[in-house]
């Protein structure tokens, strides 16, 4: 009998799954093995990403030449040599994610970065730093928007570091629960991530720095910024859905019109990505795949030996598994931000849930739904 590929889930099927607490990703043993293990490796990588981004936020404020920003573990000649030959974590991928999040600028964090209180803090920091930094004083006089933009960017770097701290711990704990039998299906994975996001939802996102012997709040507690709505959801929007086109894959020439002028219509995020260019020059996720390869659990490495082309295309296989895991994270984020509990009986609340699920399903229709099969 010829093998038939099941049809891709359509809009109504996606809505039905979201409202029925059925995972978007087919709940199979192979998917469970891939998702848990690839998220464990990703969690270990995120640990390094998080530590580095927080370090940058604490030490690189208005540093015109941040050449040592990746040495959060301390500088040594051995680490410098390892950095030069590529025997290290590729923090450039973390910066790609930060740039996407900063450029697309959605959510409460971005709104605060455009507020008057934030601009006031920027002016104060610049005055204090410029007293001992003639280069900053000169640049700020010539280009008054440059330094505030640099502070905005570093603030996003620090906030992303805080976000990844939570996600790293969550993914490593997922693997622990999997190995003791508490996570036994894909839906358990979605529930674990959903519950983790909800538990951390109200965590405050704050940021203070030391400048000229003074403590200055860049993101003060009274700004009311929190983990889920102000950082996590904007991250999903920027990195999972919109993203940025990779250099060498499309033309950045405006006359070629290969890139939409409307950022909200971008479809370059992780859920749209074609895994085949993985390890291609200039493709940032290739760096992330290499980082995860260095931390790949034995169970998943053995699974790859008998799938695809074995270790010959392991980076592509990691990319495919990673995309599946990102559908689970997206699934969990949608479930965690549903307007009302799924078992609500009130018709108006049910209608609100349906509208919310339908809006997400519409966006998911353009993604690589074949990864869900």
| Predicted pLDDT at 232 | 94
Which two tokens mark 38? 């690839």
For the chain, domain boundaries:
11-372
Q: Does 45 score more than 80 pLDDT?
A: yes
285 phi/psi in degrees, rounded to 5: -60, -20
331: exposed, middle or buried (C-beta count within 10 Å: 0-12, 13-18, 19+)?
buried
Coil, strand or helix: which one is 110?
helix
Q: Residue 116 and residue 124: Cα distance in Å, rounded?
A: 12
| Predicted pLDDT at 2 | 53
Average pLDDT of the chain, as a whole number: 94
Does pTM top 0.85 for this prediction? yes
| Predicted pLDDT at 273 | 87
Q: Residue 258 and residue 131: Cα distance in Å, rounded?
A: 46
Using CA atoms, how far residue 55 sits from 72, 123, 154, 214, in Å, is 6, 23, 11, 19
Q: Which of 1-15, 163-177, 357-371 has the lowest mean pLDDT?
A: 1-15
At 107-156, the pLDDT tens digits run 899 999 999 999 999 999 999 999 999 999 999 999 999 999 999 999 99
């Amino acid at each position: 009998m010829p093998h038939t590929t099941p049809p891709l889930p359509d809009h109504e099927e996606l809505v039905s799954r979201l409202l029925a607490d059925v995972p978007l990703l087919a709940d199979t043993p192979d998917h469970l093995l891939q998702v848990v293990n690839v998220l464990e490796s990703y969690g270990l990588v995120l640990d390094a990403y998080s530590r580095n981004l927080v370090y940058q936020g604490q030490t690189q404020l208005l540093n015109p030449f941040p050449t040592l920003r990746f040495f959060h573990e301390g500088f040594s000649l051995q680490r410098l040599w390892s950095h030069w030959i590529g025997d290290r974590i590729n923090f450039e991928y973390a910066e790609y994610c930060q740039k996407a999040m900063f450029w697309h600028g959605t959510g409460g964090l971005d709104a605060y970065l455009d507020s008057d209180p934030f601009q006031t803090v920027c002016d104060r920091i610049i005055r204090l730093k410029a007293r001992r930094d003639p280069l900053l004083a000169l640049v700020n006089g010539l280009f008054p928007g440059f330094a505030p933009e640099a502070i905005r960017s570093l603030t996003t770097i620090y906030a992303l570091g805080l976000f990844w701290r939570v996600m790293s711990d969550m993914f490593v704990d997922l693997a622990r629960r999997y190995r003791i039998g508490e996570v036994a299906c894909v839906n358990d994975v979605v529930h674990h991530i959903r519950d983790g996001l909800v538990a951390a939802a109200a965590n405050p996102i704050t940021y203070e720095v030391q400048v000229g012997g003074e403590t200055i709040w860049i993101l003060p507690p009274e700004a009311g910024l929190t983990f889920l709505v102000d950082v996590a959801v904007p991250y999903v929007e920027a990195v999972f859905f919109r993203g940025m086109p990779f250099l060498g894959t499309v033309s950045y020439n405006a006359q070629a019109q290969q890139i939409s002028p409307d950022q909200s219509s971008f479809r370059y995020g992780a859920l749209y990505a074609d895994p085949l260019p993985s390890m291609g020059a200039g493709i940032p996720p290739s760096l992330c795949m290499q980082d995860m390869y260095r931390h790949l659990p034995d169970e998943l490495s053995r699974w790859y030996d008998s799938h695809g082309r074995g270790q010959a295309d392991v980076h592509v296989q990691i990319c495919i598994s990673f995309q599946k895991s990102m559908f689970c994270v997206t699934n969990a984020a949608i479930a965690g931000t549903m307007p009302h509990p799924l078992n609500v009986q009130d018709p108006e609340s049910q209608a609100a849930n349906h509208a919310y699920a339908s809006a997400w399903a519409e966006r998911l229709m353009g993604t690589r739904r074949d990864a869900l099969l």
